[in-house]
A = this chain, B = another copy of it.
């Protein structure tokens, strides 16, 4: 379907046999070229700079540093190429973490081998591919609205937010903080806007996920 460009891949898996199998399969495709292999995360990180692969095929189940953590480090070193996680687990947390780290796909190892090539091409095109059987998990992982904690709340807003998460009404919060209910409303209004949320319920959920203890 597409073939003009030759894309470079880095293969990361702690099982040599698995790497062998994947390599053999990919060698039949002349638009895909494996330019390197790594048996663990650390090694993968050192190969990124010299190889600059277009895509990293990353096993998640590795000793010491797993795929998610490797992905995290890859992004931390500003690797902007594609990354495909493949794994045996359907752990919801892993999927969520992977996609938060801008993974381009999350594949289960029990898929049809032929499909892998398909998925690699999709990922190289920038498409997000997620294995069959994971859509339900995805739907579950998708819940509350909040977004990146790149915004900064003022100290007062954090206090109000924590009280919201404590289930308190604006009136009670005002009493606790020694300010009027109206002022509390102002803070609520502002923090909702800053966080891109639409209700105090969403704010409570956001708070529980983002400011555990500290504030």
Which residues of A approach B to under 8 Å, CB–CB? 1-2, 92-93, 96, 99-104, 114-115, 118-119, 122, 125-136, 138-148, 164-167, 169, 197-202, 204-205, 208-209, 214
Integer count of this chain's copies in the complex: 2
Q: Lowest 10 CB-CB distances: which A-B pairs, in order?
A: A126-B132, A167-B202, A128-B130, A140-B147, A143-B144, A140-B146, A128-B135, A100-B139, A201-B204, A167-B201
Selected contact of A129 from candidates B128, B202, B208, CB within 8 Å: B128
Given that A126-B135, A130-B127, A134-B128 are known contacts, is A144 also in contact with B100, CB under 8 Å in the complex? no
- Complex CA distance for A119 and B47, rounded to whole angstroms: 32
> Does A198 lie within 8 Å of B167, measured CB to CB?
yes
A93 to chain B, nearest CB (A): 7
- Complex CA distance for A206 and B122, rounded to whole angstroms: 34
> Does A143 lie within 8 Å of B118, measured CB to CB?
no
